[in-house]
Structure 1
Amino acid sequence: MKRHNLALAVSALLVSGAASADIIISEHIEGSSNNKALEFFNAGSTEIDLSTYVLEIYSNGSLEAGNTVPLAGTLAPNGIYVIAHPSANTEIQAIADKTGNLYYNGNDALVLRSGDAVVDSMGQIGVDEIWASDGVSMQNQTIRRKDTITTGDTDPSDAYAPGDEFNSFEIDDISDLGKHLGYGSEQPEPEPEPAPEFGACGDNATLISAVQGNGLSSPLFEEKVVVEAVVTAVYLDGERPLNGFFIQEEDADHDADPATSEGVFVYHQDTAVTAGDKVRIAGTAAEFYDSTQLGNVTEITICSSGESVTPASFSLPVDSMDAFEAVEGMLVSLDHPVVVTNTESLGQWGEFWVAHERLFTPTQVAAPAENNDVNVRLNAFMIDDARSVTNAEDVPFPAGGLSAVNSLRLGTEITNPTGVINYGFSEYRLLPTSDLQYVDTNPRTAAPELDAEGDLRIASFNVENFFNGDGAGEGFPTERGADTVAEYERQLTKLVAAITAMNADIIGLNEIENDGFAETSAIAQLVAEVNAQSDAEWAFVAFGDTEFIGSDAITNALIYRTDRVAETGTAVFTTDAPFDFGNRPPIAQTFHDLVNEDEVTVVVNHFRSKGGCNNSAAEGDKDSGDGQGCWNATRVQAAEKVLEWIADDPTGRAVDDVILVGDFNAYGMEDPVQVLVDAGYTDLQMAELGAENHTYVYEGLSGSLDHAFASASLTEKVVATANWHINADEPSVFSYNTEYKSEANQVSYYNEDPYRSSDHDPVVVAMTTVAGDTGDNDGGDPDVDDGGSAPPTEEIPNLDHATTSGSFPIWLGLSALLLGLIRRRV
């Protein structure tokens, strides 16, 4: 059984109050290797029943107990009880009353509870640090409770300093283990429990439901048992299998308690069994990383073959993790279809997540609020290939095996899967016992699909750290992006495939290397390769003599088709606060289409990301728990400043039609987005696609960080908006990276196509143009219409600007030739 409940919060621990018993943690050993042990002392005057006591271990600042260890028996006044790690040395094992899942380190919090009441604690729940003070540390030391401490610390959320209550001793010092205040110097030898008779098939046996129990741990932990049940799934063959099989009670032998599982894993490799065999087994009830199993099998007999059990019916979402625990080890069948929601570890471990529906980041669909997080584990579980193989060359999902041309996309429906529920590596997993039936409800598309075409398309595309080394085939690894020239070539090819298939006329780029505009720059070589692969002629927006846009390693960029549009304004960016640090400087340029000479100003943005605030953030930028993450105030300031900046027509063109695109690092209902909407800009994706639209997936939750916002006048011209799902829904293993991939996988997982060219999906907006007169038909320097005013000639503070590039520079053709030579040499 599981030793934790994911719905349990620190507040629940606190309101429960302290237990009346006087048990304390009297010694904590964190030694070399697995030499870990805990000593408990009854400082009270009455005997205590330990069956209600459980030790909880909160790892790495978690608010949820990852491991738990139940206590057992009774403890007399001044009595001592020792639990040891199952792999501790023989000296510690000889002293211990029992072994348990003591998988803790010096930065983990420990809580001793009796029922709902906190009895004692060490460390601080929710905080990740090595607990140390006054030379006393919970890491690499033996520490013993001071003689003056006779009551436990019942507040596991308060600041913790072990030096206040413990004395320190050398690592692996067990000289006082099993003793406290002069008590417990003699440890009585426990009498061994007699093993049950094995008997014959059909004789009385222990029910699996009794082995599993309905509490936090198997009530028969470490006891010898004899069970008789039907084999449901076997994992003895292949590369690094589970080395065992699952058994389940016959339907007639199920107990009446829905909280107890009728199935269990048997860790045993020496007997060939087949699904449908009824087996009689003698073994020991055990816990392996919080999963109940039978181990140390001493006898096994196959009683019959061709038997069957009825799969348990199961559905998502669940009210608590107890629902999973109640079917741990059982054969289950989902009573509804599920959809794929996360494939992040599909290539590495052969596992992926499914849920009853696509799961969205809360602030994509609802206003920010405290405690509005989606508990993914109540809504989803893993499907696993039942192997401990890393980066296999034969991942079995989807049907036919995973490859770049046989993807398992998010949103794919799986019809009522059947398999065994197993618990491992802190997650519940379904191990399929029959072929999964896939329904391609989210197929790839060769190009963005928009309801209307329009006559001008503007797009936004995050190119995920596109760096090109020194531009001459060397300089790898780079600060970000590709580690080798081979990876660079793979990334470039995919990005070009995406850009040429996007069918856009103007594209704002994020996360491109901030290395200027020379022929060796990332932007110049990207455009050169686009031109080499496209029937159209593309150019990029340059900024005159400006070498860098801000100080970040990455920047924003604009590229466009010269046969569709021309620059009419002065290309500008601003490094005014809050664009001097964190938020990347926005860039802007005004274009006119070559048919109707209708002008539009395009502003490309990349606001500060959500992570990494720690204690360095000011109030408002700290993670408030409302779902918006870190640096929200900084992003709000960016939204306000970009509105102020663009209102002054920084490109020198007084244009009403303005579109803001890019990676805003804010989901659809978050504060920065609302600032832009409240200012009169239309969230085009929300308007056409609804709240449940996405360009990005993080930990199985979908949402849009990439947006397109149109001014009121431009909104009237927009005819269609689409998120082109070529990246976020694809397995990450299809990216250009070659790390952790065999030569075979580098081939099978890569294709020269747009899919997984980045981790963000492009946003594409189609609009109609109207006849106008820019006075700039030749695409040269900005002209001024009659009655108008000239663009500013004085430098705007903190703005770098230059005249337009006009037409595609001749030297870019030379750079394309140079790039081609470099590519052929690699």
Structure 2
Amino acid sequence: MASKSSARLAALTVAAVCSASTIVLTSPAQADSVRVHDIQGSTRLSPYAGRQVTDVAGIVTGVRGYGSSRGFWIQDPRPDADPATSEGVFVFTGSTPKGVAVGDAVTVSGTVSEYVPGGTSSGNQSLTEITRPTFTVVSSGNEIPAATTISARSVPRAYAPEGDAEADGSVNGLPLRPSEYALDFYESLEGMNVRVADARVVGASDPYTELWVTVKPRENANRRGGTVYGSYDSQNTGRLQIQSLGRPADFPDANVGDTLAGTTAGPLDYNQYGGYTMVASEIGTLESGGLERESTRRQSDRELAVATYNVENLDPSDDTFAAHAEAIVRNLASPDIVSLEEIQDDNGTTDDGTVTAGATVGKLIDAIVAAGGPRYDWRGIDPVDGQDGGQPGGNIRQAFLFNPERVSFTDRGAGDATTATQVTKVRGKAALTHSPGRVAPADAAWEDSRKPLAGEFVFRGRTVVVIANHFNSKGGDQGLTAQYQPPSRSSETQRHAQARVLNTFVKDILATQKNADVVALGDINDFEFSTTTRILEDDDALWSAVKSLPRSERYSYVYQGNSQVLDQILVSPSIRWGGRLSYDSVHVNAEFHDQISDHDPQVLRFRP
């Protein structure tokens, strides 16, 4: 799903206020002196949006002098009695604030604005700000207002209210009910100084000095310390993103299962990369949870081991080949067949028409040998330049690695980027007209997306058809903290179409040979409980083998503190019911700050 995203880094430099991302409300131009809680109001939109305010009093609780959203937070030390109205607000200065420091008592005049991180088309909630400010420091060295504790007891169990049908499902105009809904609770603290205590890490530190914690460590927990996303109703209310208001060098390198012991505190912000975020001026002491990378068992002589591994835009210039090889040899126990996703062409993102990937795959194969593994052979099909999505110029595709000492590949009329493989019958058994071949590459379902790669393998005299996939990403979906509840998942439309194409292809194989062994695997970019998966499984043509694991162990990816399934291995009925199936999600990447890919590989073992 995710990749080495220069796009996000670029997004961080976008101006913090622009007409495309600021909600403009028509109202009188001038307001008398008001308090912060008056500005925040009891809904998500300020009743003063678009109006000038004067002499808003508060204590400075944080100063942000970096990034695109520079300014400072103020909080009124004399709160009102309404739990729905926040006492804090962000003052957007645009440039590094001068002449103001934490502990200053200030009065601020300016324009109240509702800024939508990511732009109004993102569906995100808005952040109430005072923009174009002038301010006066009244006194310095004041004690800042005590931080409000966010805890398992204070955060409600329900995540969000149902959006207003008359407002296209938006929650913006609904009265905040902070004792009933988690999103309302967080909104009621927007801009305020907040704290968490002894918070468990559920999303590892990333290169942007961010991590995720939970204040509800028992909420959908797994044995490795994470928080599992097991349904669309399991948004996990205790999750909170932590950024640093201090030096990036001081930010901890945390893994899932670690703890920020003691107090972590700072103003509560809202951004496009996770919604409600504590910008911490104080970070607890990192205590290791002792998380270690997993290793799966080696397959027996009679078991075929098939794996899927998204290697995250691998190209010859990367320095991760030895680490990937170690993962394949040590942690995955050298599977017989490996479906690789996100293999880039031989010069990576250089956009010069290159589409071959022999150098990329060859360098990985050599690294596997150096790590003590077998010398894998490989098969793949070069895409048409620029037609399969991913990083521009990278031409990502799937590729098969296979151990020729254990399995053989049936080369039959090798296909190309635009020629579809079909199902035929050879000596009474289902076969592919092109092996390797692509499944329906001209179908609109695969527009600007990776086309499935199919191939025939033979293990102990039995043919297994393997189909490597990388479905459309979730880009464009609204976030869990969106103003629209439930949020829209627009990217599903293309994945549903892709799932129907693949399901139909598998049904063609099974109609030709009822007991055919078929494995469809890869980065499906969707959950095991999703409609995408149900379409893949339609009429029992396939079954997602990750569902053989306990619910708390079903995950291959960690996103915004949610451990979730994106990578799957689906099998035909003959494998599900007759192959003594063994499935393992091998956690070597997604939970670690020093990951070499954002995906964990999956391994299936069975007896054909």
TM bucket, shorter chain: 0.5 to 0.7
What is the rounded CA distance, in whole Å, between the counterparts of 1:567 and 1:242 in structure 2?
59
What is the rounded CA distance, in whole Å, between the counterparts of 2:361 and 2:265 in structure 1?
50
Aligned match of 2:55: 225
What is the rounded CA distance, in whole Å, between the counterparts of 2:182 and 2:525 in structure 1?
32
What is the rounded CA distance, in whole Å, between the counterparts of 1:69 and 1:234 in structure 2?
28
Can you list the C-alpha shifts for 1:608-632, whole angstroms capped at 9, x where unaligned?
Answer: 4257999xxxxxxxx9968733252
What is the rounded CA distance, in whole Å, between the counterparts of 1:235 and 1:549 in structure 2?
49
Per-residue deviation, 1:572: 7.2
Per-residue deviation, 1:640: 1.9
Aligned match of 2:279: 431
User: Is it true that 1:315 corresponds to 2:152 in the alignment?
Assistant: no
Can you list the C-alpha shifts for 1:662-721, whole angstroms capped at 9, x where unaligned?
Answer: 334443234553344643544221112438622345676654332223344544444532
Per-residue deviation, 1:430: 1.2
Aligned match of 1:461: 309
- 1:150-229 counterparts in 2 under 5 A? 208-210=36-38, 212-214=40-42, 216-217=45-46, 222-225=52-55, 227=57
Per-residue deviation, 1:71: 1.0
Paired letter, 1:505: P
What is the rounded CA distance, in whole Å, between the counterparts of 1:537 and 1:34 in structure 2?
52
Q: Where do 5+ consecutive residues of structure 2 fail to align?
A: 1-14, 116-126, 161-180, 223-227, 347-353, 389-394, 423-438, 478-486
Conservation of the 8 A alpha-carbon contact between 1:518 and 1:524: no
- 1:67-466 counterparts in 2 under 5 A? 67-69=23-25, 71-72=27-28, 97=29, 208-210=36-38, 212-214=40-42, 216-217=45-46, 222-225=52-55, 227=57, 233-235=61-63, 244=72, 246-249=74-77, 253-264=78-89, 269-270=98-99, 274=103, 281-284=106-109, 286-287=111-112, 289=115, 290-292=127-129, 295-302=133-140, 309=146, 311-313=148-150, 314-315=154-155, 317=159, 319=181, 321-334=183-196, 337=199, 339-341=201-203, 346-348=206-208, 350-354=209-213, 365=230, 380-386=239-245, 394-398=248-252, 406=253, 408-409=254-255, 414=260, 418-423=264-269, 427-438=275-286, 440=288, 443-445=291-293, 447-449=294-296, 454-455=300-301, 456=303, 457-466=305-314
Identical columns (%): 19
Conservation of the 8 A alpha-carbon contact between 1:383 and 1:430: yes
Paired letter, 1:591: V
What is the rounded CA distance, in whole Å, between the counterparts of 2:378 and 2:412 in structure 1?
7
Per-residue deviation, 1:323: 3.1
Aligned partner of 2:605 among 760, 766, 778: 766
Q: Where do 5+ consecutive residues of structure 1 fail to align?
A: 1-32, 37-56, 61-65, 73-96, 100-192, 197-205, 367-371, 399-405, 469-487, 615-622, 735-754, 770-826
Can you list the C-alpha shifts for 1:730-751, whole angstroms capped at 9, x where unaligned?
Answer: 55xx6xxxxxxxxxxxxxxxxx
Per-residue deviation, 1:385: 1.5
What is the rounded CA distance, in whole Å, between the counterparts of 1:633 and 1:609 in structure 2?
10
Query: 3-state DSSP class of the match of 1:630?
Result: helix
Query: 3-state DSSP class of the match of 2:603?
Result: strand
What is the rounded CA distance, in whole Å, between the counterparts of 1:440 and 1:34 in structure 2?
36
Aligned residue-pair number: 484
Aligned partner of 2:467 among 604, 615, 629: 604
Aligned match of 1:659: 519
Paired letter, 1:537: P
Conservation of the 8 A alpha-carbon contact between 1:695 and 1:761: yes
Aligned match of 2:120: none
Conservation of the 8 A alpha-carbon contact between 1:359 and 1:702: no
What is the rounded CA distance, in whole Å, between the counterparts of 1:256 and 1:655 in structure 2?
69
- 1:575-594 counterparts in 2 under 5 A? 575-576=420-421, 578-581=439-442, 582=446, 584-592=451-459
Aligned match of 2:408: 567
What is the rounded CA distance, in whole Å, between the counterparts of 1:464 and 1:421 in structure 2?
34
What is the rounded CA distance, in whole Å, between the counterparts of 1:261 and 1:518 in structure 2?
56
Aligned match of 2:4: none
Query: 3-state DSSP class of the match of 1:669?
Result: coil
What is the rounded CA distance, in whole Å, between the counterparts of 1:410 and 1:608 in structure 2?
27
Conservation of the 8 A alpha-carbon contact between 1:454 and 1:768: no
Per-residue deviation, 1:763: 0.7
Aligned match of 1:534: 371
Give the 3 Å change call, closer, same or farther, for CA 242–522 of structure 1 in structure 2: closer
Conservation of the 8 A alpha-carbon contact between 1:208 and 1:248: yes
Q: Which moved more, 1:514-523 or 1:255-264?
A: 514-523
Conservation of the 8 A alpha-carbon contact between 1:613 and 1:631: no
- 1:690-701 counterparts in 2 under 5 A? 690=551, 693-697=554-558
Query: 3-state DSSP class of the match of 1:496?
Result: helix
What is the rounded CA distance, in whole Å, between the counterparts of 1:607 and 1:384 in structure 2?
32
Structure label with greater radius of gyration: 1
Give the 3 Å change call, closer, same or farther, for CA 454–420 of structure 1 in structure 2: same
Conservation of the 8 A alpha-carbon contact between 1:364 and 1:692: no
User: Is it true that 1:490 corresponds to 2:357 in the alignment?
Assistant: no
Aligned partner of 2:528 among 650, 665, 668: 668
Can you list the C-alpha shifts for 1:315-369, whole angstroms capped at 9, x where unaligned?
Answer: 26462754334223322234894654486xx424x33455555799xx9855xxx
Paired letter, 1:71: S
Per-residue deviation, 1:256: 1.7
What is the rounded CA distance, in whole Å, between the counterparts of 1:382 and 1:712 in structure 2?
42
Can you list the C-alpha shifts for 1:119-145, whole angstroms capped at 9, x where unaligned?
Answer: xxxxxxxxxxxxxxxxxxxxxxxxxxx
Aligned match of 2:426: none
What is the rounded CA distance, in whole Å, between the counterparts of 2:565 and 2:410 in structure 1?
30
Paired letter, 2:361: I
Per-residue deviation, 1:308: 6.5
Per-residue deviation, 1:504: 2.4
Give the 3 Å change call, closer, same or farther, for CA 300–709 of structure 1 in structure 2: same
Paired letter, 1:508: S
Higher relative contact order (CA 8 A, sep 6+): 2
Aligned match of 2:427: none
Conservation of the 8 A alpha-carbon contact between 2:71 and 2:90: no
Aligned match of 1:629: 493
Give the 3 Å change call, closer, same or farther, for CA 280–648 of structure 1 in structure 2: closer
Query: 3-state DSSP class of the match of 2:554?
Result: coil
Conservation of the 8 A alpha-carbon contact between 1:539 and 1:562: yes
Aligned match of 2:124: none
Per-residue deviation, 1:648: 4.6
What is the rounded CA distance, in whole Å, between the counterparts of 2:73 and 2:211 in structure 1?
22
Per-residue deviation, 1:603: 0.6
